[in-house]
Amino acid sequence: MNQLSLMGNFSKPRLSTPIANPSICAQCYEKGQSCCTYRKNTTYDMITIISKFEINRILQVFPRLNRSKAFVEKTNTKTFEHNVEELFPDRSDAVMRSFMPGKTHFELSTTEKGCRFLTPKGCVLPRDARPLFCRIYPFWFRNNEAMVFFDTHCLAIKNCSTIQEVYLAIGTNPSVVKKIFIQLCCEWGLEKSEAKVAGIL
Ligand code: SF4
Ligand code: SF4
């Protein structure tokens, strides 16, 4: 999870007429440049944190999944702590509590190509069972403000001039994305309300 930066007030000169393009992620997969793959010669790295709630949803779909192959337990190193704090600068106390130095967290297991759940046809998981970070990408929130990751390979970001256009291109909307973010914060232990974990989506 290295050097992913965010763009607030995302706005850039229009290159072409924006169009709703729900297949934009499929095009990304075809190019081998999707957010599920490693991208050569870039500083981009996949964000692969996965909580016990997200693991359980995947195990409900694939009960016979080899858990130790699909998920890796890793120590919370200083670099890891720093990277999570970069994602949540407004929740640094909660980050320290949830990802205590020296303790462990789980990550999606990867191959040399990218995520282990990635197939030539895209993600093998049904949408609802995908990790929340996968479901929210390329959007994020800081201090309640919606933004997108600075990702030059993301076709949606490349082809759009505003965050509204990115919502349209990905086929989502601000309300869905915000709900996913809140659920992610709950399940990663960064929100106090356990009730939200139970049923926000
Ligand atoms: S779980 Fe699916 S959506 Fe998430 S990184 Fe892996 S292949 Fe992509
Ligand atoms: S979110 Fe962006 S980077 Fe990920 S598959 Fe879709 S267009 Fe590509």
Ligand 1 contact via 129 beta carbon (within 6 Å): no
Average pLDDT over residues 95-105: 95
pLDDT at 161 over 70: yes
What is the DSSP annotation of 48-62? -EE-HHHHHHHHHH-
The reply to whether the predicted model has a pTM over 0.75 is: yes
Domain range for 99 is 20-199
Question: Does residue 48 belong to any structural domain of this protein?
Answer: yes
At residue 14, the pLDDT reads: 47
Question: Does residue 12 belong to any structural domain of this protein?
Answer: no
Out of 155, 163, 167, 172, mutate this one to test ligand 2's pocket (max ligand atoms within 8 Å of CB): namely: 155
Out of 10, 25, 119, 136, mutate this one to test ligand 2's pocket (max ligand atoms within 8 Å of CB): namely: 25
Question: Does residue 15 belong to any structural domain of this protein?
Answer: no
Residue ranges lining ligand 2, Cβ < 6 Å: 24-25, 28, 34-35, 137-138, 153-156
Question: Does residue 10 belong to any structural domain of this protein?
Answer: no
pLDDT at 40 over 80: no
**Residue 22 preceded by cis peptide, ω within 30:** no
Out of 7, 30, 136, 154, mutate this one to test ligand 2's pocket (max ligand atoms within 8 Å of CB): namely: 154
Question: Does residue 45 belong to any structural domain of this protein?
Answer: yes
Question: Does residue 40 belong to any structural domain of this protein?
Answer: yes
pLDDT tens-place string over residues 123-132: 999 999 999 9
Q: How far apart (Å, rounded) are the C-alpha atoms in residues 9 and 148?
A: 9
Ligand 1 contact via 115 beta carbon (within 6 Å): yes
- How many structural domains are present in the chain? 1
Confidence class for position 38, pLDDT limits 50, 70, 90: confident
The percent of residues in the chain predicted with pLDDT above 90, rounded, is: 57
Question: Does residue 191 belong to any structural domain of this protein?
Answer: yes
Question: Does residue 46 belong to any structural domain of this protein?
Answer: yes
Residues 163, 10 contacting (CB under 8 angstroms): yes
